[in-house]
Structure 1
Amino acid sequence: MRNRIRLVAEELLVKHGYRGVSFRQISEILNTTRANLHYHFGSKDGLIEEVLEDYANRTLDRYRDIWTDATMTLREKVDAIVRMSRERYQHYNPNSDKGEPWSLMIRLRSDSDALTPKMRAKLQDVTREFETLVRVGVRGAVQSGELVADAPQEQLVIQLVNIIHYAGSVTRDHGNFGRLADLWEATLSTIERAYGTK
């Protein structure tokens, strides 16, 4: 039951944000009582903190696998990130390409004023970890000779990380996933032309 509650809460949070989710909605979807939700999680904040922790850890595990893989080129890493993002996007936009929200962390950042200190701290931790992982990937591209030795690594990290952080806004503002894929491609092509060794 705990897992079912978390899954329903995650779906609702991505679609409606922090303010748009209630124990009443979750209990109706699961055909259970609000008391049951309180029994398992104590409060709405307790539930969301647990959902965010789980979602963030799953996302970081996938990013870690990609950005620290020494056998992949920078382009292959970006392609893997685009595929992962498209997979999540299509989950929340199954029958159309309307730019509906698809990332829990991006969605919760837009509600940051309503979040608990623990939730805000988790989002900040994830942001720092994303930067660390992308830094590893860029450094690896330089060390392997894919990028020139004097490539401005920190500037490249900033560019790539910001696409990750604002991916949900890009798809929402443009109403489709294609714009995000184009942004990744434009950024990577520019990096390769400016600092690539081939």
Structure 2
Amino acid sequence: MTREAPPAPTRERIRQVAADLYVLRGHDGFSFGDVAAAIGTTRANIHHHYGNKHRLMAELLDGFAGDAEARIMQHWARPGVPFAQRFHLQREDLRRFYHHFNRQPGDRNVWSPLSRLRLDMPVLGEAAMVALERVNRSYETCLKQALAEAVAVGSFSPEIAAEDVVGLLRGTFLSCGPMTQDSGSFAEVERVLGALERMLNAAWGRGPAQDR
């Protein structure tokens, strides 16, 4: 008989629930009372662990940026992963976030923590800008590395416009959230990413498609 995983410690559970509420509702759309009700504790307990909402948000922002950096490195900076597989990993990662926050067909909820940070920049100020800049730098660095490796193994031509491609990929990946809110479906993201991948292969691809 397999044992059920033990519940997360209270502080971590608070952070997880607060992160979800923040992405769905924004800074002004949730309170410590909402978090307490969701996990079955008291507001006093939330204050015990995080003090105030400013401290909670500071930890959430750092967590969003750190998590995004780790996932970007996993998708785009691991050596030896074919470029097509990197694209697949990125797409499925986005899909996972989308379905976590959009459980019913046609839902148009915000699902990207980074999209929510942009919306809340007037409230969060420099803290949001710092978090977003961290993610932008990570994409820039890791995408450049992935393209350089793809060129080195012969998947793309050395003539590829690397700086332009990096900017196009980064901007597209970071814009997937609004696409699904417009259409009410992840299919729009799939369509855009598929078209982008096909264009890159048509312009600079070499060798069998599965190796790109």
* TM bracket (short chain): over 0.9
Cα deviation, residue 5, structure 1: 0.7
Cα deviation, residue 92, structure 1: 1.3
Residue 18 of structure 1: aligned partner = 27
69, 74, 78: which one aligns with 1:60: 69
90, 98, 115: which one aligns with 1:89: 98
Cα deviation, residue 33, structure 1: 2.5
Residue 40 of structure 1: aligned partner = 49
For structure 1, the residue ranges without an aligned partner over 5 or more in a row are: none
What letter is aligned with 1:108? Answer: L
CA distance in structure 2 between the partners assigned to 1:30 and 1:197 by the alignment: 52
- Contact 1:24–1:34 (CA<8 Å) still a contact in 2? yes
159, 182, 196: which one aligns with 2:191: 182
TM-score w.r.t. the length of structure 2 is 0.87
109, 121, 126: which one aligns with 1:117: 126
| Number of corresponding residues | 198
Residue 39 of structure 2: aligned partner = 30
| CA radius of gyration, larger in | 2
CA distance in structure 2 between the partners assigned to 1:169 and 1:128 by the alignment: 21
Cα deviation, residue 117, structure 1: 2.4
- Contact 1:18–1:108 (CA<8 Å) still a contact in 2? no
Does the alignment pair 1:170 with 2:179? Answer: yes
Cα deviation, residue 36, structure 1: 2.0
CA distance in structure 2 between the partners assigned to 1:99 and 1:147 by the alignment: 36
SS in 1 for 2:159: coil
Residue 157 of structure 1: aligned partner = 166
CA distance in structure 1 between the partners assigned to 2:195 and 2:108 by the alignment: 20
TM-score w.r.t. the length of structure 1 is 0.93
Residue 132 of structure 1: aligned partner = 141
Cα deviation, residue 116, structure 1: 4.4
Cα deviation, residue 186, structure 1: 0.5
| Identity between Structure 1 and Structure 2 (%) | 29
What letter is aligned with 2:137? Answer: R
Residue 155 of structure 2: aligned partner = 146
